[in-house]
Amino acid sequence: MDTGFSGLLTATVFLPAVGAVFILLLVRGDRNIRVVAVMVAVADLVLTLLVFGLFSHGEDAARFQFIDQFTWIPGETLRANYLLGVDGLSAPLVALTGILGLCAVLASWRIDTRVREHFVWLLVLQTAVMGVFSSLDLLLFFFFWELELVPMYMLISIWGTGRKEYSAMKFLMFTILGSAFMLVAIVAVFLTPDVGTFDMRALSTQGTMLGAGVLLPLGALFWLFFIGFAIKLPVWPLHTWLPDAHTNAPTAASVMLAGVLLKMGGYGILRINVGMFPGQAQHFAWALVTLGVVSVIYGAIVTLRQTDLKRLIAYSSVSHMGLVLVGIGSIGVTHGTLTSAGLNGAAMQLFTHGTITGLLFLGAGLVYDKTHTRYIPDLGGLAGRMPLVAAGLLIAGFASLGLPGLSGFVSEVLVFLGAFRAYPWPTALAVFGIVLAAGYILWMMERAFFGVRRERFADVRDASLIEALPMAILVITIVGVGIYPSILTDVFEFGLRPIVALIPAAVP
């Protein structure tokens, strides 16, 4: 296994944290703080695009690239490494984090209470998420996974609205509970005789976890990990923290939460549940699909009933993240050969949903800023007052319901292509969820942006340049991926091929 230290990923991961310390100690004046934060976020975006751009997915390219490694904890008791690296699965997600990180910083431009703290927490959060996507050592992975908690808690509870403290605490308790299960599983994997390592590269090669004399049954390990990731994703019935957290979070936190934090759950399922326990994953694929379909349908139905703009988007996330599970469930094919389409669709869904929901939350945040309400029946006719915001939300909405030519279409088609071979009827049900999506998105747009113009919104202004900028970045990403999806699917394909190869041959 290659070792070494190229430094690129270390810089990408820790640049925001270094920027946060710099802002905390040296920068004076709110305006300067904003400018420095944007500069840090831009620099980090450049680094992530470098990682994504330089990532090679040719025939003879290494699976994991940009390895940064040194011994972190020596000795007999733990033996962990500082080990960063990306493969085809994580490289696009690292780029996603860079894009949304910049959007979140730009979206916080108008924050005027406790400015310094806000940007510090936001940047620390970015380091944590970036670390999760690029750690290849289980202990380091967990380290970053937990590092994300405190910044998010602070962002929601200080700069949020409504029942912000309740929501923040709920988010915290759910996540800690999930990571507690995960920690038990990580320890059990490490202690399994013949394993004795936290190195995810070694753990995800054929047979490491299959033949070992296990400490806990493989099925138990699979579910312990799964609960941790399912809370994050979130999967019905563990999703209840999400609507509260989203509704009451400030715009920047919503963007990060929906855009990248949920993706940590999906990434974990792909990387660990499927990548390290392929046999178990195939065995339990029916359960994953069931949970996925219930999330899709339940999320969509509940979304239809929402009257709060942000709560609506939050529930639609539950529905769309259900599709990730449906795609992963495609590995349960009982006849025919397994293709990587379903997994690729799940991974694509992670990326596209990140950009789409990020855009939706940016728009919803602007609407709330300008009109001081998120109650949809109170809105109406806003399209004439704020055309830029309306256009952004419309594009995001169309992408979200899977309009061809936009990014959401690609991932949904791939998910259904993959899953249909394995579970035709549940997949058909899930497709129905997309029909419902068209319903709630269009209905929301109609009620909030079209229809009669209200007198009290007469002096509502459209988004300013600085507010429109993050929306523009996301629109470009959504349209770009929609028109030229193989820029992502090829990379995902490259990363998923070794994972698919591990899944045992179908049982007749």
Partner 1 sequence: MNLYDLYLISPQLAVASTGILVILLDLVFQRKGFLPYAAFAGLLVSLALLVIQSVDLSGAVNLVDETESGAAGVLAGSLAVDRFSLFFNYLVLAALGLVTLSSVDYVMRIERFRGEYFGLLLFSATGMMLLASATELITIYISLELTTLPLAALSAFLMTSKSSEAGMKFLIIGAISSAVMLYGMALIYGFTGSTQLDEISVAVTSAAALELLFGGYALLVGVVLMLVGFGFKISSVPFQMWVPDIYEGAPAPVVAFLSVASKAAAVAVLIRVLFTGFFPIALDWASLIAVLAAASMTLGNLAAMGQTNIRRLFGYSTIAHAGYILVGIAAGVKASGSVTGGPEFVSLGLNSVLFYLAAYAAANLTAFFAIIAVSQRTGSDLIEDYAGLVRRAPFLAVVLTLALVALIGVPPTSIFIGKLVIFSAAIKSGLVWLAILGVINSVVSAYYYVRIVRVMFLEPPREQGASGISPVAWFALTVSGVAMIGIGIAPGFVLRAAEIAVGALML
Decide whether 227 or 276 has the Cβ nearer to partner 1.
227
Compute the CA torsion angle 128, 132, 136, 141 (nearest 10 deg).
Answer: 80
Instruction: Work out which of 42, 43, 50, 158 binds partner 1, going by CB under 8 A.
Output: 158
Q: Choose one: 87-95, 98-106, 188-196, 430-438; the region binding partner 1 (CB under 8 A).
A: 188-196
Decide whether 145 or 298 has the Cβ nearer to partner 1.
145
Rule CB under 8 A: say whether 125 interacts with partner 1: no
Rule CB under 8 A: say whether 429 interacts with partner 1: no
Rule CB under 8 A: say whether 13 interacts with partner 1: no
Instruction: Work out which of 119, 190, 225, 277 binds partner 1, going by CB under 8 A.
Output: 190
Nearest to 216 by CA among 256, 196, 246, 186: 186
Decide whether 76 or 459 has the Cβ nearer to partner 1.
76
Rule CB under 8 A: say whether 21 interacts with partner 1: no
Decide whether 154 or 389 has the Cβ nearer to partner 1.
154
Chain centroid, CA 299 distance in Å: 17
Instruction: Work out which of 1, 180, 435, 483 binds partner 1, going by CB under 8 A.
Output: 180
- Count, residues in the chain: 508
Decide whether 122 or 383 has the Cβ nearer to partner 1.
122
Q: Choose one: 10-18, 97-105, 174-182, 476-484; the region binding partner 1 (CB under 8 A).
A: 174-182
Instruction: Work out which of 177, 287, 442, 472 binds partner 1, going by CB under 8 A.
Output: 177
Instruction: Work out which of 96, 130, 172, 331 binds partner 1, going by CB under 8 A.
Output: 172
Q: How far is the CB of 194 from partner 1 (least distance, A)?
A: 14
Rule CB under 8 A: say whether 184 interacts with partner 1: yes
CA–CA–CA angle 154, 156, 160 (5° rounding): 125
Decide whether 174 or 398 has the Cβ nearer to partner 1.
174
Q: How far is the CB of 146 from partner 1 (least distance, A)?
A: 5
Distances (CA, A) of 328 to 290, 417, 456: 11, 12, 48
Helix (H, G, I), strand (E, B) or coil at 431: helix
DSSP letter at 211? Answer: S
Rule CB under 8 A: say whether 187 interacts with partner 1: yes
Instruction: Work out which of 50, 188, 438, 469 binds partner 1, going by CB under 8 A.
Output: 188
How many CB atoms are closer than 10 A to CB 3? 10
Rule CB under 8 A: say whether 391 interacts with partner 1: no
Q: What are phi and psi of 401, to 5 degrees?
A: -90, 5
Q: Where do the DSSP E strands lie in 59-153?
A: 65-73, 80-86
User: Using CB under 8 A, which residues numbered 69 to 88 contact partner 1?
Assistant: 72-78
Q: Which two tokens stand for residue 186?
A: 């990580």
Mask of contacts with partner 1, 298-337, x by CB under 8 A?
----------------------------------------
Residues in contact with 81: Cβ distance below 8 Å, sequence separation at least 6, in sequence order: 69, 70, 71, 72, 137, 140, 198, 199
SS (H, E, C) 218-287: HHHHHHHHHHHHHHHCCCCCCCCHHHHHHHHCCHHHHHHHHHHHHHHHHHHHHHHHHHHCHHHHHHCHHH
Nearest to 427 by CA among 414, 437, 409: 414
Rule CB under 8 A: say whether 112 interacts with partner 1: no
Calpha distance 76→74 (Å, rounded): 7
Helix (H, G, I), strand (E, B) or coil at 86: strand
Helix (H, G, I), strand (E, B) or coil at 362: helix
Instruction: Work out which of 42, 49, 50, 147 binds partner 1, going by CB under 8 A.
Output: 147
Q: Which residues bind partner 1 (CB under 8 A)?
A: 72-78, 139, 142-143, 146-147, 149-150, 153-154, 157-158, 165, 169, 172-173, 176-177, 180-181, 183-184, 187-188, 190-191, 215-216
